[in-house]
Amino acid sequence: MSGSAYVDGIALWSPRLAGWQAAAPILRGEAPPHEPQPRPAPALLAPTERRRAPDTVAIALEVASAACAAADADPKSLPSVFACTHGDLAITDYMCRTLAGNPAEISPTKFHNSVHNAAVGYWTIGTGCMEPSTALSAFDYTFGQGLLEALSQVGADDKRVLFSAYDIEAVGAMRSVTTSRGLLGGALVLAPARGARSTAQLSWQVVRSGDTPAAEPMPAGVDEAVADNPIAASLPLFRALARGAGRASVALSPAQSLLLEVSACR
């Protein structure tokens, strides 16, 4: 149960790690998290839709676009795996609140934006991509299971794959059961073979959870900036990518983890 893929594009976005260029030195411990930046407004959407797009759509499209740009990949050509633990918690709050009070007033737009695959739907519409696309969730293991499916697609179909993972802040009564806070998204363009844009090789192995190295603490300030978001599970991998080499593990279930070895393409 092992394999390898090449990383052609990397993207990360959170208000205090806004974009890979800013985030990489922060993850290496060379700079503290910067002042919070406003939510991105994805250029893919029509100007009228940018401002009112749900947070999940804004963040998922931001990192997906940035990863494709870094990979010099035409988004039309990439199958995509979008992973999100909770879906759009603000829309869930709206739906449940409205259904409890005035169900007949449900907004049709909010309803079709409430599907878990709304972000990847907007992505394929915005980029004109007719390749397969999927939307996954696996509670605490969402980042790991999403990455595993992206790696599985790379291996099965011998094609480059876009992987985007994101979660947003719980609002309203959802906060009584959901600890997700802040905005965090990460994306990778993964390739089966080394190409002109490949920056790292990612060797992976599924191991029993006990067989993973102890987690190394994050640089000062990083946990405070993003730790309460489920996609923080991605940070050890993004740190290894920022360093250009190293090991990281991502949990797949209570019993299994994905052990990842990053080595630079020189």
User: Within positions 156 to 215, which residues make up the interface with another protein, using CB under 8 A?
Assistant: 156-157, 172-179, 206, 208
| For another protein, the closer CB: 27 or 118 | 118
Which among 8, 26, 25, 19 has a CA at the least distance from the CA of 66? Answer: 19
Decide the pairing of beta strands 2-14 and 17-18: antiparallel
Query: 10 or 257, CB closer to another protein?
Result: 257
Position among 69, 96, 215, 227 found at the interface with another protein (CB under 8 A): 96
Applying CB under 8 A, does 252 fall inside the site for another protein?
yes
CA dihedral (71, 7, 165, 11) positive or negative:
negative
Q: Is 54 exposed, middle or buried (0-12, 13-18, 19+ CB in 10 A)?
A: buried
- The verdict on 59 binding another protein (CB under 8 A) reads no
List the end-to-end C-alpha distance of the chain, in Å, as a whole number.
Answer: 27
Looking at beta carbons only, is 177 or 214 nearer to another protein? Answer: 177
Q: Does 1 bind another protein (CB under 8 A)?
A: yes
Q: Rounded to an integer, what distance in angstroms lies between the CA atom of residue 27 and that of residue 17?
A: 9
Whether residue 119 contacts residue 60, with contact meaning beta carbons closer than 8 Å, is answered with yes
Q: Residue 33 or 79: which CB sits closer to another protein? A: 79
Least distance from another protein to the Cβ atom of residue 75, Å: 10
Question: What's the min distance (Å) between Cβ of 244 and another protein?
Answer: 27
Q: Which is nearer to another protein, 111 or 215 (CB)?
A: 111
Q: Which residue has the tokens 């603000």?
A: 90
Instruction: Judge whether 226 and 232 are in contact, CB under 8 Å.
Output: yes
- Going residue by residue from 121 to 140, which x/- string records binding to another protein, judged by CB under 8 A? xx-xx-xxxxxxxxxxxxx-
143 makes contact with another protein (CB under 8 A)? no
Distance, CA of 156 to CA of 7 (rounded, Å): 17
Interaction site with another protein (CB under 8 A): 1, 3, 85-87, 92, 95-97, 99-100, 103-104, 106-108, 111-118, 120-122, 124-125, 127-139, 141-142, 145, 148-149, 152-153, 155-157, 172-179, 206, 208, 252-256
